[in-house]
Structure 1
Amino acid sequence: MGDIFLKRVYEPYDESDGFRILVDRLWPRGISKEAARLTAWQKEVAPSPELRKWFCHKPELFDEFQTKYIEELRTDEQKLRMIDELIHLTSEGNITLLYGAKDPVYNHAIVLEGELKRIINHIETKEFDT
């Protein structure tokens, strides 16, 4: 399995990024598609518009946001398909989850990274046990 990295979409491309996946619902301001050097844009895996607007990047709401977003990731069929695709990509190499938020700590990409790592750990543990 490859590694999972997080990076603001505005940070420069690095060869070690592997597959560069934008995980924002909205296109980030001030960056061209060429400059972003994306492999894919998986806007469907981003928080729902309602949850995104409610959270509004307020650190004091992050714990509740995280709980609600994880619930979306585990129950929304479209998000589950995107997660499967991301996990499949890690079997082929590194992936870098790109986001546009200014805050590197309180954003949805961190939650998504944690959920992906949890699932991969479960898969690897299950394979190891058999």
Structure 2
Amino acid sequence: ITHSMSSSVGKLLETGKRLFSNLAPSVTIDEEGKPEMNFGFSKHTGLAPALDEVLETPAKIAAKHDRNVVIVFDEFQQVLEYGNDRVEKKLRSVIQNHRKVAYLFLGSRKHLIQKMFMDRSRPLYRAGG
């Protein structure tokens, strides 16, 4: 069992490193004994290249496997806590060119989500509508 689990964790880490070379993946075991992958920022990479890589990966996967991909952002209104709209601008510039990738933006604070997508002054105004 230990060897099998070690092999699975190793494969998970390798996949994470291959998909997100600008991030530092780590694997932990949750309370049910299942591996859980987390990503942090690599010491050698800045935020912008890491964000670019994360945002471009779904389109690369869709193209490589000729499959539709769905990305779900839960509690998306938390992006507003950054205090500026740079992430929204970056997201808009990237996802508007993606094919075969659908995005769902969810959040418990409906009025904030609506503002992000319905306010003409916001970068994500009518994105995907």
TM above 0.5, yes or no, is no
> Which protein is richer in strand relative to its size?
2
> Which protein is richer in helix relative to its size?
1
Higher relative contact order, chain-length normalized (CA < 8 Å, sep 6+): 1
Which has the larger Rg? 2
* TM-score normalised by L of structure 2: 0.28
